[in-house]
């Protein structure tokens, strides 16, 4: 008989505290996607906005305040009690050391108090598997485009825990390129979604911005130069208008630069993804991470892939950015596939830097 496991997942790697409950089938090896019973999220974005970016110490302290009430909330929503939890999972890395320590500390204390095992999860594995919770879940194998605030990677994914890195950013991540360009335009942190909104009103061809490493012959990315190009263009526009700040320019001009910036980032992401699909011979693409919420990226990928008979899968919009559901899911899928057992050793460590292909 299949043993059902109730897994509590805790995410605290950056500025979102997320908690979720999934139910999976222990070591069944079945390809069934674990059931998401409940999840709850608290975003600290407003708190960090005053500082123009995430303040690690404030993030850690706020995780401490939020994590237990969120755990209580998901238990109530799922109609479960603490004692029914079979495994406590948490994000072990990569991320901010102090923030990770809060989730790891709470998870291991809870596990020890309940006498239940714990399991440390890789944050990017959570993102990568999150499309399995969507209405149109993928099947292995596939190429994954991981585009978050801290990482931009193309991976070949043959199964749970079977990840081969095909290429990655040699400097800034795609999300960072969005956020840093947005900051130059006077938008609040994290500027990615705000820049994307302005881009919808602008002309993507208004300004010719560089597409770094587009013809590099490999699957690596580089976005650090783009923000300099955006800065130079913004300065030219401000000078030409005889203004002192970019924010004082007519909105149409601001939107044109936003649209041109977004187009440059998306163009590189789409073209490299297509090359990765061609080189691996795979016909399935999975997009994950915060930038995966970008409408223009989805539109361009959908169009390009439809022409080539390639299926594209995304996480549900609300699960693109950090959340607890993806951590509970990744733990559930690991336990189910039998590649990892949860541990009764409660001495925890965190891994602020942790390459996914070393799992």
Residue choice 179, 181, 275, 348 for contact with ligand KG4 (CB under 6 A): 179
Residue at token pair 């400097």: 171
By CB under 6 A, what part of segment 117-176 binds ligand KG4?
127, 148-150, 175
Q: How far apart are alpha carbons 102 and 42 in whole angstroms?
A: 15
Residue 154, token pair as written in the block: 């193309």
**194-208 burial string, b = 16+ CB within 10 Å, else e?**
bbbebbeebebebbe
Q: Which stretch binds ligand KG4 (CB under 6 A): 1-9, 71-79, 207-215, 290-298?
A: 290-298
Q: How far is the CB of 294 from ligand KG4 (least distance, A)?
A: 4
Asked if residues 196 and 262 have their Cβ atoms less than 8 Å apart, the reply is yes
Residue 172, token pair as written in the block: 């800034």
CB-nearer residue toward Zn ion: 13 or 260: 13
Q: How far apart are alpha carbons 343 and 104 in whole angstroms?
A: 13
Asked if residues 161 and 221 have their Cβ atoms less than 8 Å apart, the reply is no
Asked if residues 154 and 273 have their Cβ atoms less than 8 Å apart, the reply is yes
Residue choice 42, 90, 142, 178 for contact with ligand KG4 (CB under 6 A): 178
Residue choice 294, 336, 337, 340 for contact with ligand KG4 (CB under 6 A): 294
What values do phi and psi take at 284, rounded to 5? -140, 130
Using CB under 6 A as the binding rule, whether residue 348 contacts ligand KG4 is answered as no
Residue choice 17, 60, 148, 294 for contact with Zn ion (CB under 5 A): 148
Using CB under 6 A as the binding rule, whether residue 289 contacts ligand KG4 is answered as yes
Q: Which stretch binds Zn ion (CB under 5 A): 15-23, 46-54, 314-322, 337-345?
A: 314-322
Residue choice 293, 331, 335, 350 for contact with ligand KG4 (CB under 6 A): 293
CB-nearer residue toward Zn ion: 5 or 157: 157
DSSP type of residue 181: H
Using CB under 5 A as the binding rule, whether residue 322 contacts Zn ion is answered as yes
Q: Which stretch binds Zn ion (CB under 5 A): 213-221, 252-260, 316-324, 334-342?
A: 316-324
Burial bucket for residue 344 (CB in 10 Å: 0-12, 13-18, 19+)? exposed
- Residues interacting with Zn ion, by CB under 5 A? 148, 322
- Residues interacting with ligand KG4, by CB under 6 A? 14, 127, 148-150, 175, 178-179, 190, 192-193, 196, 289-291, 293-294, 321-322
């Amino acid at each position: 008989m299949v043993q059902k496991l109730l897994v509590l997942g805790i995410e605290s790697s950056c500025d979102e505290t997320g908690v979720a409950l999934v139910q999976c089938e222990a070591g069944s090896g079945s390809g069934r996607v674990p059931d998401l019973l409940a999840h709850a999220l608290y975003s600290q974005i407003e708190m960090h906005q005053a500082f123009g970016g995430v303040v690690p110490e404030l993030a850690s302290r706020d995780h401490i305040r939020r994590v237990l009430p969120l755990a209580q909330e998901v238990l109530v929503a799922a109609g479960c009690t603490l004692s029914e939890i079979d495994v406590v999972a948490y994000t072990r890395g990569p991320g901010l050391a102090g923030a990770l320590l809060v989730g790891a500390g709470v998870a291991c204390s809870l596990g020890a108090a309940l006498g239940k095992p714990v399991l440390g999860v890789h944050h990017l594995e959570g993102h990568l598997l999150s499309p399995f919770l969507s209405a149109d879940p993928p099947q292995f194998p596939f190429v994954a485009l991981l585009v978050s605030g801290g990482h931009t990677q193309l991976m070949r994914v043959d199964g749970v825990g079977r990840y081969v890195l095909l290429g990655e950013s040699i400097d800034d991540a795609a999300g960072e390129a969005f956020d840093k360009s947005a900051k130059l335009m006077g938008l609040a942190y994290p500027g990615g979604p705000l820049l994307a909104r302005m881009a919808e009103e602008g002309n993507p061809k208004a300004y010719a911005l560089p597409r770094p490493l587009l013809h590099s012959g490999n699957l690596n990315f580089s976005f650090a130069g783009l923000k300099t190009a955006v800065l130079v263009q913004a300065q030219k526009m401000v000078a030409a208008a005889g203004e002192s700040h970019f924010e004082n320019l007519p909105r149409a001009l601001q939107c044109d630069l936003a649209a041109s910036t977004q187009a440059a980032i998306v163009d590189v992401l789409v073209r490299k993804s297509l090359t990765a699909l061609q080189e691996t011979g795979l016909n399935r693409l999975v997009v994950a991470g915060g930038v995966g919420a970008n409408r223009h990226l989805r539109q361009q990928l959908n169009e390009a892939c439809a022409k080539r008979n390639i299926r594209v899968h995304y996480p549900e919009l609300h699960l693109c950015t950090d959340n607890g559901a993806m951590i509970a899911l990744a733990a559930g899928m690991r336990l189910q596939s039998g590649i990892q057992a949860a541990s009764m050793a409660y001495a925890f460590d965190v891994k602020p830097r942790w390459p996914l292909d070393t799992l």
